[in-house]
Structure 1
Amino acid sequence: MANLSRRRLLTATGALGLLAVTPAQALDRALRETTKRAIAPAGTTLETVGIPVGAGFRRLAAGPGWPLVVRPDLVEPKTGRDDRRTALTSFVQLTDMHVIDAQSPARVEFVHPFIGSAHRPQETLGTHGAAALIKRVNSIKGPYTGRAFDFVLSTGDNTDNHEIVELEWFLTLLNGGTITPNTGDPARFEGVQNSGSTLYWNPASSVADMYKDKGFPLMPELLANAIKPFTSPGLNRPWYSVFGNHDDSVQGTFPSGVPLVDGIYTGSVKIEGFSSQSDAAKLAQAMRNSPLKAVELLLNFRGPIRRVTPDARRRPFTPKEYVAAHRDPRNTGPGPVGHGFGPANATGRDLYYTFQIASGVVGIGMDTTNRAGLADGSLGDGQFKWVERTLKAGSSRYYDTKGNLVRTSAADTLFVLFSHHTSTSMDNLLPDPTNLLEPRRDGAALVALLNRFPNVVAWVNGHSHRNAITAHRGATPEQGFWEINTASHIDYPQHARIIELTDNGDGTLSLFTTLIEADSPYEADYGDGSPAGLASLYRQVSLNDLHADPGLMGGTVDRNTELVLAKPF
């Protein structure tokens, strides 16, 4: 949290007088104060939060909720604002769902000792966990405004390996319908988790793998249950999506469109290990910083293989097909048609758009992926200038690049921007192979642009898999805005976030950010094959992943917050 002193934080949260009491008493008081300010906290982390219990393979239990933390980084809040505030919008951010075909041959699970995200022991249950999260969203509303959600937006990495079947599952999850989370052989699982390799958790086998060495139990029916059909309720609100690197690239890293690589998807050969640890380490290193070298190493990689059942549905989709699938009338669901993508996006080249959030509030969906590959992103110069034009068209006044105030005849609009990448992960300036001569713009350039417009209130994004909220100060208080980053739904803690924008009636606005968990039990029997039970196990296994990072939870200032900013007009 930039430049926020401990005293200011304590003053803003009403906690200065709590220093003499115990931490438990302070938390209890803070929660009571939070409950007073909230209208509808039920079903959110204001009410209850899962907490790890036990040793070894830990379970989850219901714990006390997280209190509201007021962030005065940009402007000091004024008293009495709860009695004056007017709701402008309320919506939900989903992010990094990584809907995954866990049996695909076009995966590199074997590098997980070097890149933890290459394989997760919970990934076979991802669709069940996502359906439980959607069920939660459908049952709640804005906790501080009581306003029904205007929309839901998924900020990229909606699929894990940009496969046609993963996209079908993603669309069915959000629109509602039956999913059979299985590819290849319709009668059995053919992924690494029944390979017998000690590199992976083999839940149905007694093989002494590296996960069981850390306490992972036997779950003999897990894989069989994971591939059975089940039904997603679908969202009961309009929804949108933006494009992420995993929606564009092989494993979110290798550049797409390389025929030999794309051919691996629908083939019958799956690499399940490595012959040389040093070769696996070299491949992992190339995946971080050299996309073309990574392709070369992948095509020449050697390791234990498995023959699997080919499946044409594993074919990678293109950006054009991603848009077409969203615009297909069969996938309209609760709407809107195209879920943000219109005729201008049909070529798949320019995957950015605007949409009306509510009266006086407009959303901007950006495409921060770089078609050259690698995980991090940037903006093409054409899109960067489009964002600038869009902001100018909705601003009665803004600042030019020299800091001079420019006045226009435009009506004022509040803007909320959405993207996959964060300001600090937009440093991939490699030339886009679809437009080699176009300059790329990094995150710092985008922040500087947004700071020129007082009516930009927030930039909402994902990619980091981490809860983090950053204040971006401008030259004047009203030029500041908030960057809101939320943890993924594949790595623990598997959160989504409610965001409510209010007018406080005193020259300030507030953004309330409240985290939510999936609607599934904190604990389930290991043999529970019901959709709710599998969603519960999805969360519990993710808690125990060997590569789990406790830092993804974020601090108290990154979770349930009130972010105060100056009203620009």
Structure 2
Amino acid sequence: MSFGRLVPVLLVLAACNSPTASGSDSETSGEAPDTTTTTATSSTTGEPPEPTTSSTTGDDDSSTSTTEPLPEPLPPLPGPVPLTDEELRTPAHPVDEDKLLDLRVPADVEKALAEGYGDVMVGPGEPVLPRTLDDQEPPAPGPAPKLLTRFVHLADTQLADDESPARLAGFDEVSGGAFRPQEGHVCHMLNAGVRTINALHVDTPLDFVLLGGDNTDNAQSNELEWFMGILNGAPVVECDSAIDDDPVPGPDNDQKDRFAPVGLDVPWRWVTGNHDILRQGTFAILDWSEPIEGESVGGTRDYGQPGAPIVKGTVPADPARAFLEEPDQVALVAGDGDGHGITAAAVELGRAFYTFDVEGTPLRFFVLSTATITGASLGLIRPVDLENIIGPTLDQAVADGKWVIVTSHHRSGSLSNGQEFGIGTKFDDALTPEQWREFLGGYDNVIMHLAAHTHRLMAEPMLPVGGHPYWEMVTPSLNDFPSQMRMIEVWDQDNGSLTIKARAFDLVTDGDPIAEQGRTLAVADFTTGWENDGRGTGPDQRNVELWIPTPD
């Protein structure tokens, strides 16, 4: 997500690129009122604790007692999972355009929840709307339509180490802020998402889960460890850094306690986003000192205080917070399990460009890495990428008779020249959104560009001048309201047409009050006026059946 609305404060922060810099920031309208200093002193003993690292293996859980038994995973959800064409959750509280409550303040969080800002109503679903590239009525299906693939698109989790000194939690603006009241609950929200996908898979078998990028929030090693541990079903995950926090005394009852994730029952495929390789999704990590220890200049959270307020000052150390450069990240993902799509060529390149086919069908997915290590949250595609990677890969798909779904974190409208409000490196040869659409339009075997980044549901025809039309689709954030994913099906309609049927669905949080609390806070973040509407501009962006002629 772009931080364009935070430009004044971000440019000030860019000058404070050392963890030993002064904690006195310029006053801005977006700064949290609480700037209490946090230290490494234990709230119970008065002695500084030893730094600890979280474990997803169960072999080195240094932050909890070695005699404590491992937690048990939550049981499978009973099906079927309602999709949003069957059941729709809508906020019960109107959006407060005046932003009278500031959810960075613990007292305002309590007030917002007490006043129903996080409440929802459950009602009838929205229908699946058929759409064609020329807005004409779709043809009748042929005698033997065939399902080619069914998968889930899971985007913008932005799983955060919300206690890291590298964060900018003191700043918040609508659709551009670096703080979310639910950020500490996202590990449990992701686990709820996994349980939901698994239950969906029982009734409607899935081929895989495709990520949308921005899987982590701050390019940190521990965030990636937690993220993969949850998807893989590690014996234990503890989304807590440095001090062993326990906001609600006792095990398995707050967002900082360790838990046993259930793990996906289907394969998952990696896509890189700007938050996966940049500090707060915007700043080049090579321009900053490691977030292992130091001064919190931009604000982070202190779970040693009631409500985990935003604080500045000395932050306890944790070596697990080290930034992870993109080549190392790609190699780590490739070395995990089945490699999650990452090929040896991608590892050698140090960027997640790769393809995978749906067995027994003409479908090929082409994963692109559109984030740039030089900074700025927007996407970047350059002619060198077209010449060396993208063009040859699409040419090979033509030669192989494959129909292609291109997928990346950034959609065409989120591409830039590599610079955003003075942040990042400007590349004069960067492709514009129009040039990228024209390029893809030169391949009549491309049927869709699937993306994320905007945190909202979108589906639009791309009609490049003189080129081949195709669809562009965007999935919202698991983190932000409405905290949804998409189930996507590609059908051969046996009439000279393909359809791409996409339906959004919500988390099912049964038996997981921590995940439900996180989703409730995400609703409140929207209704208090601090987050845009991730449901998009209308029903034709949400549950859709997109028609396109079958490629020759």
Alignment TM-score > 0.5, same fold: yes
- Is the 2:375–2:425 Cα contact (8 Å) retained in structure 1? no
Whose helix proportion is higher, 1 or 2? Answer: 1
| 2:75 match | none
| 1:48 match | 87
* Per-residue CA distance 1:373-419 (angstroms, 9 max, x = gap): 01101113232222222222222xxxxxxxxxxxxxx3421000110
| 1:173 match | 230
Matched, 1:512 2:513: no
Aligned with 1:316: secondary structure? coil
Matched, 1:360 2:349: no
1:186 to 244, 255, 279: 244
| 2:397 match | 394
RMSD: 2.9
| 1:239 match | 268
- Is the 2:169–2:179 Cα contact (8 Å) retained in structure 1? yes
- Is the 2:455–2:475 Cα contact (8 Å) retained in structure 1? yes
- Partners in 1 of 2:251 and 2:384 — Cα distance? 48
Bigger drift between 355-364 and 93-102 goes to: 355-364
Aligned with 1:232: secondary structure? coil
Q: What are the equivalent positions in structure 2 for 1:142-541 lying under 5 Å apart? A: 148-177=205-234, 178-188=236-246, 225-258=254-287, 261-263=288-290, 265-271=291-297, 305-328=312-335, 331-332=336-337, 337-347=338-348, 349-358=350-359, 359-385=361-387, 386-395=389-398, 410-430=399-419, 439-474=429-464, 479-521=468-510, 532-541=512-521
Where do 5+ consecutive residues of structure 2 fail to align? Answer: 1-78, 94-114, 301-309
Instruction: Give the Å deviation of 1:354.
Output: 1.0
Matched, 1:131 2:132: no
- Partners in 1 of 2:347 and 2:424 — Cα distance? 15
- Partners in 2 of 1:153 and 1:231 — Cα distance? 23
- Partners in 2 of 1:371 and 1:232 — Cα distance? 31
Instruction: Give the Å deviation of 1:184.
Output: 1.0
2:155 to 95, 106, 120: 95
- Partners in 2 of 1:123 and 1:419 — Cα distance? 24
| 2:32 match | none
Q: 1:515 to 1:221 in 2, by over 3 A?
A: farther
- Partners in 1 of 2:212 and 2:174 — Cα distance? 26
- Partners in 2 of 1:92 and 1:234 — Cα distance? 15
- Is the 1:77–1:508 Cα contact (8 Å) retained in structure 2? no
- Partners in 1 of 2:356 and 2:495 — Cα distance? 28
- Partners in 1 of 2:166 and 2:425 — Cα distance? 26
Aligned with 2:358: secondary structure? strand
The residue type equivalent to 1:175 in the other structure is N
| 1:28 match | none
Matched, 1:556 2:536: no
- Is the 1:323–1:348 Cα contact (8 Å) retained in structure 2? no
Matched, 1:60 2:120: yes
Q: 1:78 to 1:468 in 2, by over 3 A?
A: closer
Q: 1:439 to 1:474 in 2, by over 3 A?
A: closer
The residue type equivalent to 1:257 in the other structure is L
* Per-residue CA distance 1:110-139 (angstroms, 9 max, x = gap): 121587431011111001001111111111
The residue type equivalent to 1:153 in the other structure is L
- Partners in 2 of 1:159 and 1:270 — Cα distance? 20
- Is the 1:43–1:136 Cα contact (8 Å) retained in structure 2? no
- Partners in 2 of 1:434 and 1:340 — Cα distance? 29
* Per-residue CA distance 1:265-304 (angstroms, 9 max, x = gap): 1114324669xxxxxxxxxxxxxxxxxxxxxxxxxxxx97
- Is the 1:75–1:564 Cα contact (8 Å) retained in structure 2? no
- Partners in 1 of 2:273 and 2:456 — Cα distance? 16
Q: 1:175 to 1:381 in 2, by over 3 A?
A: same
- Partners in 2 of 1:232 and 1:222 — Cα distance? 15
Q: 1:304 to 1:78 in 2, by over 3 A?
A: closer
- Partners in 2 of 1:239 and 1:157 — Cα distance? 15
TM-score (norm 1): 0.71
The residue type equivalent to 1:327 in the other structure is A
Q: 1:150 to 1:56 in 2, by over 3 A?
A: closer
* Per-residue CA distance 1:467-504 (angstroms, 9 max, x = gap): 1111012567x921110101111110011111111111
Bigger drift between 506-515 and 375-384 goes to: 375-384
Q: 1:338 to 1:71 in 2, by over 3 A?
A: same
- Partners in 1 of 2:520 and 2:424 — Cα distance? 42
| 1:212 match | none
Tell me the percent identity: 27
- Partners in 1 of 2:311 and 2:232 — Cα distance? 39
Where do 5+ consecutive residues of structure 1 fail to align? Answer: 1-39, 190-203, 205-219, 275-302, 396-409, 522-529
Instruction: Give the Å deviation of 1:441.
Output: 2.4
| 1:282 match | none
**Number of aligned residue pairs:** 436
- Partners in 2 of 1:517 and 1:394 — Cα distance? 34
Instruction: Give the Å deviation of 1:451.
Output: 0.8
* Per-residue CA distance 1:210-248 (angstroms, 9 max, x = gap): xxxxxxxxxx99997110111221111111111111011
| 2:64 match | none
Instruction: Give the Å deviation of 1:45.
Output: 1.3
